[in-house]
Amino acid sequence: MGAGHAHAHDHEQEAVSNSVFGFWIYIMTDCVLFATVFVGYVVLSHNYAGGPTGKELFDLPYAFGETMFLLFSSVTYGFAMLAMYRGNRKQVLAWLAVTFLLGLGFISMELHEFTGMIMEGNGPDRSAFLSGFFTLVGTHGAHVSVGLLWMAVMMGQVMTKGLSTRVQSRLMRLSMFWHFLDVIWIGVFTVVYLMGVLQ
Amino acid sequence: MSHAAIDSTGAGHGSLRTYLIGFGLAVVLTVIPFALVMYSDWPTQYIVYGVFAAAVVQILVHLHYFLHLDRSSDQSWNVAAIALTAIAIVVVVGGSLWVMIELHYYMQPHAMLTGPLGLG
């Protein structure tokens, strides 16, 4: 006990610290990926090929709703982390469930928007502007979907394994991923929706 | 011991208070740009400035209150990584836009020697 135990604890902390930093590096590379997709969209954003413009397609109150879903989910994930630091497993599960539903609300709204546009003939094949739009917004949506899948797996792990060091470490990384996706969304609603309607 | 909270891992963590402050600021910084585009009668140029300023500030709010990035020593590597990433993004975004705006400009028949950005 004593020194040996403390040493083991330090070792665990270092492992968690390394994996969290490693995940941060991954997120940074993902930032560069999004930067290239953003710039692709901006360069093509006026090439309508006779098709609809952003002003005709985008519904700002709808985009605002999506934004609020994602922002609320960011905060509820924060509450899940606070519950984790307190060691309260039930609250962690409850907040993860709330976050999952909010994220699902966001992705459902996005899919509804996409299918509506495609049904009206304004899919990614309509113009370069729309190719850029679906690539950028779709890449973000794909990330959110993967985040939801990861969250479902983590709820299962919290239920079956409890808040072990490994589970906590994974919850920390998912936290970074989830908050990061909300940061990217700020860029999306600014560059795509707000600027699109302003043109 | 397996249930002990993990601390000082370089991830940082907030409190109920910091999450709520971050949330409040984020809501305000989302409502402002949407309201500017939907309701204001400012000249378009000023709306664009306002919208982008709100976005930049909101990104900083998220980094500080949700991702807990700060100047403390256990965050220094995270900050170094994001600084390098920011440089890469500036080069990729700035470079691409520069090239494409110049290209677009010189493809037009009335192109002049000064160039679209005054950079030749």
Q: Is the pLDDT of residue B115 over 90?
A: no
Which residues of chain A are within 8 Å of residue B66 when distances are taken between CB atoms? 74-75, 78, 179, 182
Count of CB atoms situated within 10 Å of the CB of B24: 13
Assess B14–A contact: CB distance below 8 Å, yes or no: yes
pLDDT at B3 over 80: no
Give the distance from residue A24's alpha carbon to the nearest chain B alpha carbon, in angstroms: 7
To the nearest whole number, what is the mean pLDDT of chain B?
85
pLDDT at residue number A2: 54
Q: Average pLDDT in the B108-120 region? A: 61
Q: How many CB pairs under 8 A join A and B?
A: 143
> Percentage helix, strand, coil, to 5, in chain A?
85, 0, 15
Q: Contact A75/B78, CB-based, under 8 Å?
A: no
CB contact under 8 A, B9 and A31: no
- Spell out the domain ranges in chain B: 1-68, 73-120
Determine, for residues A71 and B63 on separate chains, whether the beta-carbon distance falls below 8 Å: no
User: A3 exposed, middle or buried (CB, 10 Å; 0-12, 13-18, 19+)?
Assistant: exposed
**From the CA of A77, how many Å to the nearest CA of chain B?**
10
Residue from A18, A38, A15, A14 nearest A26 by CA: A18
Please state, in angstroms and rounded to a whole number, the distance separating the CA atoms of residues B11 and A150.
19
Which of A5, A32, A189 faces B88 most closely, judged by CB atoms? A32
Which of B6, B16, B77 is facing A165, going by the closest CB pair?
Answer: B6
Q: What is the pTM of this model?
A: 0.90
> Is residue B66 less than 8 Å (CB to CB) from chain A?
yes
Nearest of A148, A198, A68, A75 to residue B47 by alpha carbon: A198
Please judge whether A64 and B30 are an interchain contact, meaning their C-beta atoms are less than 8 angstroms apart: yes
Residue A157 to residue A150: CA distance in whole angstroms: 10
pLDDT, tens only, A42-77: 999 999 999 999 999 999 999 999 999 999 999 999
Instruction: Quick: pLDDT tens for A5-22.
Output: 667 777 888 888 889 999
**Interchain contact B98–A (C-beta under 8 A):** no
SS in 3 state form for B72-87? CHHHHHHHHHHHHHHH
pLDDT of amino acid B119: 56
Chain A neighbors of B96, CB-CB under 8 A: 39, 43
B22–chain A Cβ distance below 8 A for any pair: yes
Q: Which residues of B touch A186 (CB under 8 A)?
A: 55, 58-59, 62
> Which residues, 6 or more positions from A110, have their beta carbon under 8 angstroms from its beta carbon?
A66, A137, A141, A144
Convert the pLDDT of each residue in B86-101 to its tens digit.
999 999 999 999 999 8
pLDDT digits (tens, 9 = 90+) for A74-108: 999 999 999 999 999 999 999 999 999 999 999 99
Tell me: the pLDDT tens digits for A130-159?
999 999 999 999 999 999 999 999 999 999
- Look at B37 and A165 and tell me if their CB atoms are within 8 Å: no
